[in-house]
Structure 1
Amino acid sequence: MKIQFWSIGKTDESYVKEGVRDFTERISRYYPVSWRIIPPAKQTASTPEDAVKKTEGATILGLLTKDDYLVLLDERGKSPDSVEFSKFIAQRANESTRQLVFLIGGAFGVDEAVKQRAQYVWSLSKLVFPHQLVRLILAEQVYRACTIQRNEKYHHV
């Protein structure tokens, strides 16, 4: 199984770039992993939020293949603990998922069509974080899940 992290937005700020790189390298010991940064839709001050979401949504849906398992990050999603999340990833691997895609939406969220395409909606927290920090938290949580699967000492109960 391959893991892909997709994020709509600008490139990483220097204050989180190193952490994202570090955790991505760690994950690569368990699964092939990569990042895809999708540029946000061009907009003006008068562009409606729904139009931005539709444009970004069309881009996302165009990049996905029919076999991709899409996990959408959204504060209204399910909130498993670390062990449950580890089991979720293991289950995807056991079901021969070819590619597990984690999506961090744009500044206004994602279009309804993307929400409907997602097989799982995951909440890191009920709090809203800057996209840069979400990238770091996402990478760390996937790494933590990998270590839990192998019963390694990173995660403490």
Structure 2
Amino acid sequence: MKIQLWSVGKAHEDYIREGITEFTKRIGRYYPVDWRLFSPARQTASSLEADIKRNEASTILQALHKDDFLVLLDERGKLISSPKLASLIEQKANTSVRQMVFLIGGAFGVDETVKERANYTWALSPLVFPHQLVRLILAEQVYRACTIIRNEKYHHE
């Protein structure tokens, strides 16, 4: 199984890039992994949130393959523990899912069409974090899940 980490927004900020690079490299020991950054929809003074989300959704949905397992990160998603995330990843790998995509939406969230397409909606926390920080947390949590699956010492309960 391949893991894709997708985000709508600008390139990784310098202060966060090193951590994302390190955890992505670590994930690569377990699964092929890539980041894909989607440019946010252009905004004008008259841009409506709904239009922006619709434009971003169009780009995201075109990039997905029909058999991709899409995990949407959304503050209204399900709160799960790191071992539960590990279980989800392991289950999908064992059921021949070819690609698992974790998606961080844009500044206004995602359009309903993306929410409907998502196979799973996950909330990292009831707190709201900046998108750049969510990228780092996502990479670290996916790495942590990989170590849990392999029963390695990184995660302590």
Normalised by the size of structure 1, how large is the TM-score? 0.99
Match of 1:2 in 2: 2
Match of 2:119 in 1: 119
Match of 1:67 in 2: 67
CA drift at 1:45: 2.0
Aligned-residue sequence identity (percent) comes to 67
Does residue 51 (structure 1) correspond to residue 51 (structure 2)? The answer is yes
Match of 2:128 in 1: 128
Give, in whole Å, the separation in 2 of the partners of 1:122 and 1:45: 32
CA drift at 1:46: 1.6
Tell me the alpha carbon deviations over residues 56-102 of structure 1, each in whole angstroms, 9 at most, x when there is no partner: 00110111010111000001101111111110100010111000000
CA drift at 1:43: 1.1
For structure 1, which runs of at least 5 residues remain unmatched after alignment?
A: none
Does residue 40 (structure 1) correspond to residue 40 (structure 2)? The answer is yes
The SS at the match of 2:140 is helix
The number of residues matched between the two structures is 157
Tell me the alpha carbon deviations over residues 4-52 of structure 1, each in whole angstroms, 9 at most, x when there is no partner: 0010000011110000000000000000000000000011122000000
Normalised by the size of structure 2, how large is the TM-score? 0.99
The SS at the match of 1:23 is helix
For structure 2, which runs of at least 5 residues remain unmatched after alignment?
A: none
Tell me the alpha carbon deviations over residues 95-117 of structure 1, each in whole angstroms, 9 at most, x when there is no partner: 11000000000000000000000
